[in-house]
Structure 1
């Protein structure tokens, strides 16, 4: 088993230039599927992180009752859509899951990538709708980054994501163990890189981001190691920031494949999920360290948000 790292120069090739020739949305449109009565902060962290990194647009598709809270975290910066016929209809409890799935699917043209799971909850209706959204997104070959309760959905329905190489799963240690159990892989704490590779292979080449002291990323063939320095405070919500960061790089990868700007086409499309995951993990760790260095034990996940731009500049700006 060989652990490797891509060079930052390779990752820089995925980053679109700042150009007056671009129109709004070309440099990244991220759609977060999540947000519920109990969890409104997680989808906000994912969406605002995508915007702070450099995505042009971030949408949040959520339960109607979560929309106002999420919008109020940052008025004017997020476009909030809800699980109902109209984003202005907050009182219709009678929609079927099929209607909701169709409504959300109609938004796919606005997204380069779906970020599925932050704040989703384990509500039966939410999970049923999200399952249908994933299946529809696969039909249209839309990349997706899946975390949190999205992973709970995958744990109980592994076939909906199996063999879909455009998917990235970002489990923490407990989520990783449960996914291993689902795919009948014996968990061993001392061979994590090999396990990430085995789990990816079991899912048919889905990219696995195994979060931990060091992050391990595998597509079943290669294994990337991310051992960049990180803050020592493990406050909740850092994984939500990570999904936004990875999703932005995936969106940039879509723009790269479409040749939105002139480049040498030296990056294979099959390498983009791995590179996007490595870049997102590295920036997330840099942000964590920067915020922790200033605030120590009092640091909160919200303190990482202002560090995203400076961290990106330190690591990847030419």
Structure 2
């Protein structure tokens, strides 16, 4: 015999059923909203990425056009050769990317590499008298690598800011002082985060200097190896980029800029931007940020 239920019991069951339906509808609505939010976020990141790629590419194109205009000038021959080497190395990266040899994990690394290629050409152009694209009417912005320096040590941070303080057109040794500090900073990063024994352990067949130390290129390969990257074209570009900065130091140490060795303020700022960009690039590889997917 079927169980009889009262009117109030029936109403209660109906309310329970309606409540479950509303809960299911709310869950469905939340899922749809979450999906739509994820789609909007992804599309926003794609648009930002594409805009950044276009901006980087346009800037690199402009800098290379400027570079071509001064190709016949006799100044800074060795440094210009280094800049050209960076551009050729980046072209190899770009060709490999166009051939779909890199997955999306390399996207940020390629963006940063393109920026470095533009930075390399830019400082050459400024040394040749071209106006930099980012001129500051008053004081330049705070150092873009403060967060990196503090990760290394307070002493490194303080020494770097001492070097920045010395960057003045009235200081005939400004460039030399700054570049000495910059060289020390790059050396500190390589020595601290790619210790010789660690490099030899991870890369047993690594190339060594006459003193038995892993070369700079091997330390760069070590950084990439730690991120699961074994691409020689990537290692070659990073090495050429670091060598370009070292060649920039040699320009100033040789005192080749006129009889006084003085540089104009825009040139000093371009030197600073080049070095800080290179440090940021190297740091992004060490930390893995260069290979983090958006």
Q: After TM superposition, is the score higher than 0.5?
A: no
The structure that is helix-richer by fraction is: 2
Higher relative contact order structure (alpha carbons within 8 Å, sequence separation ≥ 6): 2
Q: Which has the higher strand share?
A: 1
TM-score, normalising length from structure 1?
0.25
**TM-score with structure 2 setting the length:** 0.26
